[in-house]
């Protein structure tokens, strides 16, 4: 947390960080689940409107990350609020974010999207 804050400012900062963590965790879980759903759809051939909603959502998330230097805007907000670069901005354990997880998720998403497209066309 930022130094030299009053108790009420510290509580406000902590409340904002908790809110960021809740929102970020929910978004992450939905998008991660969506990536696995797209993969399932592609492998099983059970392609629905939900498959395409997740494809669009994950692509939009990729655009947001690309536009922000591959850093989530919620992380940037958490850093701004707390003044701490090393914040944990989700309620997920650190092990979830193993080195290279973005590559693994991207490959799963690409394969699932490719299979979904080829089975649809």
d(CA 101, CA 57): 18
Q: Which domain holds residue 95?
A: 7-120
Cβ-defined contacts of 32-41 (< 8 Å, 24+): 32/105, 34/58, 35/105, 35/108, 35/109, 35/112, 36/108, 38/109, 38/112, 38/113, 38/116, 39/108, 39/109, 39/111, 39/112, 39/115, 40/112, 41/112, 41/115, 41/116
The answer to whether residue 2 is domain-embedded is no
Is the pLDDT assigned to residue 3 strictly greater than 80? no
pLDDT (tens digit per residue) in 28-41 = 999 999 999 999 99
Total domains in the chain come to 1
Residue 110 has pLDDT above 60, yes or no: yes
In a domain, 1, yes or no: no
Model pLDDT, residue 2: 60
Is residue 85 within 8 A of residue 2, CB to CB? The reply is no
pLDDT, position 1: 57
């Amino acid at each position: 947390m930022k130094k030299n804050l009053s108790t009420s400012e510290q509580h406000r900062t902590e409340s904002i960080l908790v809110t960021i963590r809740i929102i970020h965790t929910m978004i992450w879980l939905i998008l991660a689940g969506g990536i696995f759903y797209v993969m399932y759809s592609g492998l099983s051939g059970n392609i629905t409107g939900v498959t395409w909603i997740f494809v669009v959502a994950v692509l939009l998330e990729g655009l947001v990350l690309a536009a922000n230097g591959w850093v989530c805007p919620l992380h940037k907000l958490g850093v701004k609020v707390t003044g701490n670069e090393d914040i944990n901005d989700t309620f997920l354990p650190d092990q979830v974010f193993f080195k290279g997880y973005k590559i693994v998720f991207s490959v799963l998403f690409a394969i699932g999207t490719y299979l979904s497209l080829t089975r649809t066309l």
